[in-house]
Structure 1
Amino acid sequence: MSDPFTFSETLRQLVDASGYTPGQLAQLADLPKTTIVNWLNGRVIRPRHGDPLLQLGRALRLTSAEMDDLLTAAQHPSLHEFISQLDQSIRHTLPEQWLAPSTNHLPTPFQAPPDIPYFVGRETLLTELQQALQQETHQTIYVLHGMGGIGKTAVATRLAYLCRPFFEDGVLWARVDISEPLNTLQSVARAFGYDVSGHTTLTERSQTVRGLLAHRQALLVLDNAEASEQIRPLLPPTGRCAVLVTSRRQDLAVFVGATRWELTPFAHDSDTAVQLFTRLLGPRVAAHPPDTLHAIAQTLGHHPLALTIAASRLAYETGWQASSLLERLTAASQRLPTLHFETASINASFQVSYEGLNTAERSFLATLSLFGGDSFSAQAAAAAAACTLWESEDRLRRLASLSLIQPHSAQRYTLHPLMRDFAQMQSQDASTFERLVRYYESYLQTHPPHTAALQLEYDNIVHLLEQATAAEQEATLPLIIALAPYWITQGLYQAAVTYLARGLTSTKHTDKRPWLLRYRGEVARLQQEMTLAESLLQEALALTAAETSLHTAVLAELGVVASCEGRTAAAATYFEQALQAAEQERNLDVLAVVLEELGMLAISAGDYEKAAVYFARGLDALREHMPGGVTLRKSWGAIHFLQGDYEQAAALFNTAFALAQTAGYQSGQATLLNNLAAVDMVAQDWSAAVEKLHQADTLAQQLAHGKMQAIICANLGQVQLALQHPEQAHYTLQQAAALGQQYNVTTIMTKVDAALAAYAQKQSLPPNPTIFI
Structure 2
Amino acid sequence: TSAATLMAILQEPAPDIRAIRHDLPPALADLLAHMLVKDKNGRIGSVRLVGAALEAIMKGVQAGTADEIVLQPPPATPNFAAPAPAAPSGPFQAPNAPPHFVGRAVALAELVDLLKREQVVALVGMGGIGKTSLAAAVAGQLRIHFADGVLWANTHTSEPSNILELWGRAYDHDFSGLTDLASRETAVRSLLVDKQALLVLDNVDDAAEARPLLLHGSRGAALLTTRNLDIASALNAHAFVVPELSAESSVALLVEVLGEARVLDDPNEAAAAEQIGDLLHHLPLAVEIAAQRLKSRARMTLAAMARRLQDEQQRLGLAISDSAVRASFEVSWEALDEELQTLFAKIAVFGGRPFTVEALAAVADWNIYLAEDDLYTLTTLSLVQEVGETRYKQHPLLADFAAEKLGDNDEANGRMARYFLKFAQENQENFEALDPEWENLLAAVQVAHQERAWQLVLDLTGALGRSWFRYGRYHDANTAYALAETAAQQLDSDEALAHILLNWAEVGIEQSRYDEAWGWLETAVNIYYRLEDGTGIAKSCYFQGCILFDQGHYPDAERELQQSIAFASQTNEKEVEANATEQLARVYFEIDDNTDRARQVAEQAMEMHQTIENQFGQTKMHRLLSNIEIRNGNLDQAKKQAARAKEISSRIQDPVEEGLANYLLVGIYSMQEAYEKADLLAEESLDVFRRRGNKRYEAMVLNEISLNYLALGNPEKSLEITQQTLQIFRQIEERLGYAYAMRHLGDIYRKLGQPQQSLKAWQEAKQIAEFLNHSHLLGQLENRLGA
TM-score (ref. length: structure 1): 0.49
Q: Of the two, which has the highest radius of gyration?
A: 1
- Going by fraction, where is helix more abundant, 1 or 2? 2
